[in-house]
Amino acid sequence: MRHIKFLTLLLFIFTTQSFNSQDHRLVDKKIDSFLSNLTGEEFSGTILVAKGDSITQKRAYGLASKELDVKNKIDTKFNIASITKTFTAVAILQLYEEGKIDLETPIGEYLKDYPNEKVRNSVTISQLLTHTAGLPNFYITNFLDKCKFGFEEVKDFVPLFVNDTLLSEPGTEYNYDAAGYVLMGLIIEKVTGSNYYDYLEENIFEKANMPNTSAFGIEKIVENKANGYTFAGDTTQLLRNNIFYLSKASPGGFHYSTVEDLFNFTHALFNHDLISKKTLDLMIEPRVKGYNTHLGYGIDVDQRYDEIILGHSGGWYGISGEIIYLPESRFTITILSNVDSNMDSGKSMVSDFFKELLAGKMEEN
């Protein structure tokens, strides 16, 4: 009898493993077919696919320079827009983990001279991380008509929003913004005595093996960097270079990176090389409902599919990118693009393919 039970168990294990193997091969085949049939007209940029620790696909499409007919390469550097916010959030959580800041204390504890009294005395770091401080998104209000050469340090972005009226009482509503992340950049500098950009380089980019990630000034000549191309909101017009819409990165957006650097960052984050498991659990706890997904601390927690998806996207004129991480099946997808697109093409189309294939069909809202 024992012998029969043992054989039955072996048969069950073998059959289950066989099915899993078949499922994996089918998924791999669908991914390879999708990427092989994708064209540079449909998507301009780079895509990386990884399963666990192993990168399984790296593809490049389209042109880094339309003017010079230079193709994108897998290691081309792209502007990542708001994906930068996740770097800033991790830096803040490192300081929290070290006991140097408290997430529920008003920011005046760290920025004693911050001019806006209401913000200084009532807004917490937790609210900044979850876009619930009531602060405006200065990138779409006061940024576009300014000379971009004036933004060199984190403090240079503060005049863009410091005197603006709050959109809501702190802690009461979700309003996506970049101002809160600039304030966290100032807190990082105040608490550590280090420049924000240097802190990220030493405590995130070096630790996570991200040699191609940096905050370039707009005047800097950068080898192997993709230009961005935008319709500027009107798809009936010809594409144009997006340089006039950019500045050096703030803590709220605009670093440059590669799909492999972003994979390395994701791998380091979820393997507890940047923050501990306890702090990571704090980061990925869904805290507030955003426009589409729930948010943790500087990270999206998308619960609309059969499997939870963690990550962050970034979009701007001529910029579109996303980190997609499935903690259960351990897939990582990183996507970077340098051309505007609508919801049926470009980065959005690529992102939707992977999410539906790997995480299941999205629930209707």
Look at residue 5 and tell me if it is in a domain: no
Which domain range does residue 152 map to? 27-359
C-alpha 310/C-alpha 326 separation (Å) is 6
Cα–Cα distances (Å) from 143 to 61, 104, 137, 177, in that order, read 31, 29, 9, 13
Over residues 243-294, the pLDDT tens digits come to 999 999 999 999 999 999 999 999 999 999 999 999 999 999 999 999 989 9
Q: Give the amino acid at 291.
A: Y
- Give the chain's domain count: 1
What's the pLDDT at 136?
92
Over residues 209-234, the pLDDT tens digits come to 999 999 999 889 999 999 999 998 88
Q: Are 138 and 180 in contact (CB under 8 A)?
A: no
Cα–Cα distances (Å) from 22 to 27, 112, 211, 328, in that order, read 9, 60, 37, 18
pLDDT surpassing 70 at residue 318: yes
Task: Provide the token pair at 87.
Answer: 């770097």
For residue 119, the SS3 value is: helix
Return mean pLDDT, the chain.
92
Task: Provide the token pair at 346.
Answer: 């470009």
In DSSP terms, 214 is beta-bridged to 256
Over residues 32-58, the pLDDT tens digits come to 999 999 999 999 999 999 999 999 999
Statement: the pTM of the whole predicted model exceeds 0.75:
yes
For residue 183, the SS3 value is: helix
Look at residue 365 and tell me if it is in a domain: no
C-alpha 156/C-alpha 182 separation (Å) is 10
C-alpha 9/C-alpha 29 separation (Å) is 30
**What DSSP state is assigned to residue 361?**
P
The Cα angle at residue 134 between residues 199 and 154, in degrees rounded to 5: 25
Most confident range (mean pLDDT) of 21-25, 311-315, 358-362 is: 311-315
Q: What is the residue whose two structure tokens read 């077919």?
A: 33
C-alpha 170/C-alpha 119 separation (Å) is 8
Rounded to the nearest angstrom, the gap between the alpha carbon of residue 297 and the centroid of all alpha carbons in its chain is 12
Give the residue-averaged pLDDT of 77-84: 98
Minimal CA–CA distance to 350: which of 364, 363, 365, 333?
A: 333
pLDDT band at 236 (very low <50, low <70, confident <90, very high): confident
For residue 77, the SS3 value is: strand
> If you write DSSP's letter for every residue of 31-76 in order, what string do you get?
HHHHHHH--TTT--EEEEEEETTEEEEEEEESEEETTTTEEP-TT-
**pLDDT above 90 covers what percent of the chain?**
86
What's the pLDDT at 361?
75
The Cα angle at residue 312 between residues 225 and 44, in degrees rounded to 5: 40
pLDDT surpassing 70 at residue 4: no
Look at residue 72 and tell me if it is in a domain: yes
Look at residue 17 and tell me if it is in a domain: no
Cα–Cα distances (Å) from 112 to 107, 179, 287, in that order, read 8, 17, 28
Q: Are 131 and 174 in contact (CB under 8 A)?
A: yes
Look at residue 3 and tell me if it is in a domain: no
C-alpha 330/C-alpha 310 separation (Å) is 11
Look at residue 197 and tell me if it is in a domain: yes
Higher pLDDT, 71 or 11: 71
What's the pLDDT at 20?
55
pLDDT band at 15 (very low <50, low <70, confident <90, very high): very low
H helices of 161-235, in order, are 179-192, 196-200
What's the pLDDT at 187?
98
Task: Provide the token pair at 189.
Answer: 């500098």
pLDDT band at 364 (very low <50, low <70, confident <90, very high): low
Q: What is the residue whose two structure tokens read 């144009």?
A: 240
Minimal CA–CA distance to 357: which of 31, 52, 25?
A: 31
Cα–Cα distances (Å) from 260 to 40, 74, 75, 125, 293, in that order, read 20, 8, 7, 30, 25
What's the pLDDT at 19?
40
Task: Specify the CATH number for the domain of residue 35.
Answer: 3.40.710.10
Over residues 151-196, the pLDDT tens digits come to 999 999 999 999 999 999 999 999 999 999 999 999 999 999 999 9
Look at residue 2 and tell me if it is in a domain: no
What's the pLDDT at 25?
87
Minimal CA–CA distance to 208: which of 270, 273, 260, 257?
A: 273
Give the residue-averaged pLDDT of 96-123: 97
| Residues in CB range of 14: below 8 A, 6 or more apart | none
Look at residue 12 and tell me if it is in a domain: no
Burial status of residue 122 (CB atoms within 10 A of its CB: 0-12, 13-18, 19 or more): middle
For residue 299, the SS3 value is: coil
pLDDT band at 343 (very low <50, low <70, confident <90, very high): low
